[in-house]
Amino acid sequence: MITIDHDVTMPLYRQIYEQVKNLIYNGSYQAGSKLVPIRRLAEELKISRNTVEAAYLQLTSEGYVSSRTGSGFTVEALELEKSNAQSTPNRNSEEFLDCLQQAGIWSANSDQTDSAKSVSLNSTGIVGQVINSADCQSKAIYYDFTYGDLENRSFPSQIWRKLTAEVLSNKGDHLANSYTDRLGERGLRSQIANYLHINAGVNCHPAQIVIQPGTQLSLHNLLTLFDPFKDIVAMEQPGYKGVISVIKNNHFKIFPIPVYDGNDAIIEALYNSHARLAFMTPSNQFPLGEILPMVTRQRLLRWAIEKDTFIIEDDYCREYRYNTSPLPSLQALDNKDRVIYMGTFSKAISPSLRLNYLVLPPDLLFEWNRVFDHNYAAVPWLIQAVLEEYMKQGFWEKRLRKMQTVNKRKFLTLKNALRKHMGSRVDIRESGSGLHLLVGDKLGRNQSTLIDLAKEQGVSVYETNCCWLSDQHPMQNYVLVGFSAIPEADIESGIKLLANAWFAD
């Protein structure tokens, strides 16, 4: 009754297993009947006994048959399989799928979600996006002031396709099969070093640049060079939730320091912190947007030199400043190798590239090389090679200009719309840079109220609570309003609707 096919990729044991299971389900094998003995079936099918045994033992472990020494394999009643199923929950059971949905891991109507996602926000504001949240309350969102994403259709698909084809033709045949340089492709690192030198004054050799799969994993790797059993990480509060999460997940203690606000509290806090590492965002404090002045930058460096510590300078948003000329990066001012510089391509090309980089001071570079001696490159070669050409052929420079222009317009439109429609009823925190601003309600309503009111009208704004280490903080009434993903033409009508949601009489 059982046959095997050597020409399919399904393993032989699995072919036998599937057929026996079918025979049990369709009643050909009744409960209590015996399976064909291993030796006999192996001879009939001209295969190894191990293969038949593997099939029978898998059937046993799943409760379809039982085996007793000397009496072979006996088919169990199908009811038994069900009781067994309680310990092996069926991965398509309603119960399991409900849990997945409640945890926000996989919604049952995932196809629906996917197609809803593909309904992009558009400037007519007519087509809405369905947001499936864990509590199953779906609301159509017409205006999404999210942070981090870029605008739909803004990815340079045509150029990327062309460069991918070029790279695969010219270099793909040999390189795509090797583990690449584990610190990153040299050509790409040279392009980045050059860009950083001109744009941020970063002083480094390309060898000091380590290509990584995103800010979080790069920080995760970097923390490997430190010791969670004794090293403390200082971090501005409020700060980026993604970074707080990585530091905690790596079992390091976080020492919160205040954000710069015109005095030296931040420096004093660092001297009191006993920190070995400080995580900073000097050119655009996340989420407050403050720019650290030169004098404070120099004091920061003095602290690092005196206390023999390192500063992680996350320059995630250097590209975007609208009224102000950028200051030199901390790394540019550092002449004692205390700064670890971090940059990303997420904000100017696409977050889905999953590509950022660290610039390591020499001591940490050598330590990284030693610690990750047996580790491979973390970013696909193809992405690195295409990005290298993208930079080398001048597309990056053009892209930067274009994105700066687009976002400057959006920034001004957003500020003007807020002033026009909300006037003095809100406090706006911005520093002429970045891809978001914070809006505080002067009536003092807290952010979950503000977010819910907005959602009622089909507008998404975002919480800032997650940026704080504690629930007790002075910015309960501030929400984050991002403008990188929303089209310029949608901004004013979105803000008008938001004003209506918050301040309608």
CB-CB contact of 237 with 468 (8 Å) = yes
**Cβ nearer to a copy of itself, comparing 35 with 453:** 35
CB of 304 to a copy of itself, least distance (A): 13
Q: Does 467 bind a copy of itself (CB under 8 A)?
A: no
Q: Does 72 bind a copy of itself (CB under 8 A)?
A: no
CA 461 – CA 478 distance, rounded (Å): 10
Classify 274 in phi/psi space as left (phi over 0), alpha (psi -120 to 50) or beta: left
Structure token digits, residue 392: 């080398």
CB-CB contact of 239 with 279 (8 Å) = yes
What residues numbered 178-197 form the site for a copy of itself, per CB under 8 A?
Answer: 178-180, 183, 186
CB-CB contact of 168 with 361 (8 Å) = no
**Cβ nearer to a copy of itself, comparing 296 with 500:** 296
User: Which long-range CB contacts under 8 A does 391-398 form with residues at least 24 apart?
Assistant: 391/188, 391/191, 391/192, 391/195, 392/187, 392/191, 393/163, 395/156, 395/159, 396/191, 396/195, 396/349
**Candidate residues 3, 26, 69, 169; the one interacting with a copy of itself per rule CB under 8 A:** 169
CB-CB contact of 481 with 414 (8 Å) = yes
CB of 426 to a copy of itself, least distance (A): 27
**Cβ nearer to a copy of itself, comparing 151 with 430:** 151
Q: Does 372 bind a copy of itself (CB under 8 A)?
A: yes
**Cβ nearer to a copy of itself, comparing 283 with 457:** 283
CB of 59 to a copy of itself, least distance (A): 10
Q: Does 78 bind a copy of itself (CB under 8 A)?
A: no
CB of 227 to a copy of itself, least distance (A): 8
Using alpha carbons, select from 449, 439, 448 the residue that is nearest to residue 419.
439
C-alpha atoms less than 13 angstroms from C-alpha of 328 in its C-beta half-sphere: 15
Q: Does 128 bind a copy of itself (CB under 8 A)?
A: no
Interface region with a copy of itself, contact rule CB under 8 A, candidates 262-270, 295-303, 309-317, 470-478: 295-303
**Candidate residues 308, 373, 471, 505; the one interacting with a copy of itself per rule CB under 8 A:** 373
What residues numbered 246-265 form the site for a copy of itself, per CB under 8 A?
Answer: 246, 249-251
What residues numbered 303-362 form the site for a copy of itself, per CB under 8 A?
Answer: 324-328, 332-336, 350-355, 362
CB-CB contact of 354 with 491 (8 Å) = no
Q: Does 446 bind a copy of itself (CB under 8 A)?
A: no
Q: At what angle do helices 488-503 and 395-422 cross, to 10 degrees?
A: 30
Q: Which helix (H) or strand (E) holds 8?
A: none
C-alpha atoms less than 13 angstroms from C-alpha of 150 in its C-beta half-sphere: 17
CB of 414 to a copy of itself, least distance (A): 19
**Candidate residues 31, 77, 265, 294; the one interacting with a copy of itself per rule CB under 8 A:** 294
CA 360 – CA 371 distance, rounded (Å): 14
**Candidate residues 26, 69, 71, 87; the one interacting with a copy of itself per rule CB under 8 A:** 87
CB of 472 to a copy of itself, least distance (A): 20
Structure token digits, residue 378: 């973390």
**Cβ nearer to a copy of itself, comparing 256 with 445:** 256
* Residues 88-127: x where in contact with a copy of itself by CB under 8 A, - otherwise, as a string: xx-xx---xx-xx--xxxx---x---x--xx-x-------
Dihedral of CA atoms 213, 219, 222, 226 in degrees, nearest 10, equals: -160
Using alpha carbons, select from 336, 276, 275 the residue that is nearest to residue 305.
336
What residues numbered 268-287 form the site for a copy of itself, per CB under 8 A?
Answer: none
CB of 440 to a copy of itself, least distance (A): 23
Structure token digits, residue 43: 């001879």
